Amino acid sequence: MSIDDKYFMHEAMLLAENGRGFVSPNPLVGAVIVKNNKIIGRGYHKKFGDAHAEVNAFKNAKESVKGAKLYVTLEPCNYLEKKTPPCVPAIINAGIKEVVIGTLDCNPRVCNKGVADLRKAGIKVKVGVMRKEIEQQNESYLKYSQTNKPFVILKLGLSLDGRIATSSGESKWITSPQSRKFGQEIRKQVDAILVGINTILKDNPKLSCRIAPWKTLIRVILDPNLTTPPHANVLKGICPILIFADKNSRSVLLSEGKNLEVIRVDKDQEELLSWDDILSELAKRNIASVLIEGGAQVASSALQSGVVDKLYLIYAPKILGKGISFSDYLRLDGLKSALKLKDYKISRSGKDFILEAYVHRHN
């Protein structure tokens, strides 16, 4: 990988980031056009259903792109069954001489096919520049495309001794204002936010994104017996609300309709709502990423079921003593069945620190 390739691909990655929160379930994609070692055009995928990064880069070009080099973070598409025209023909018709691609598109309709068509047209193609970084940038899209299940993030604010609340249920506020703002940043990036009914009953949250009030953040509640109060804050506003209930429950939520949908699913062996069914139903609604925020039983069951992909543990420099732990409901058989975290990193957030990690179970 040349220094120039890395520099220009990094520029494309920065552009792609501008689409976060707007393009899902599509991927984040950025593109730059380079001629005589200078950027003459920039573009990114701005919104789901709108023009793709390559097309926007062509539109924004300051001069003719014929004979230029195109850097694009994700493999250009060449299939017709979508809202916008395919990008491969546009690249060929524009007279681009070389395309540098960050990573292949794992979507079966695209993977390697865009590259093959470009090469057939006599265009030089290089793949894999900053691949790892770009795949992490698009981790939600990649999982959603490969498994047809949303990428699941679990975020928890807790004390140094692992408590997410006192024994009486008090939890406002364990972490700092900076950490709470960080939590809002995560909400801005995902498609949906999920909590259990106990969180609704105890905290009466709005589950909104305060730093991006324009965002359509889908609110998901796990409520087996449909006990969500009709005047709960979460039911207010215009954002869609999905309430998951037990298939065998005869309860009815009177306010169902308009932006509220009740989805009945099976229970698992632990007599909890099936995570497999929940994630499948979310995927059917084009939800590619979901943030779990509470409470202890929901967090434990998600970890126990192995559905959590990424974990944010925000630790405050406090010791609460006896209280509620997010792992209280986990049932693991000794050290050999412990949940192992990988690729972790630690950062500061005000007086707190954040452990960011990926989750997998040690076999």
The set of catalytic residues is: 54
Distance CA(259)–CA(241), nearest Å, equals 6
Alpha-carbon torsion, ordered 206, 208, 210, 212, to 10 deg: -160
Distance CA(110)–CA(139), nearest Å, equals 17
Distance CA(73)–CA(8), nearest Å, equals 10
Burial class (CB in 10 A: 0-12, 13-18, 19+), 167: exposed
Question: Tokens 């590259």 belong to which residue?
Answer: 115
Backbone angles phi, psi at 64, to 5 degrees: -60, 135
The secondary structure element, H or E, covering residue 79 is: none
**Cα-to-chain-centroid distance, residue 35:** 34
What the block records as the tokens of 50 is: 């709108």
Distance CA(129)–CA(100), nearest Å, equals 7
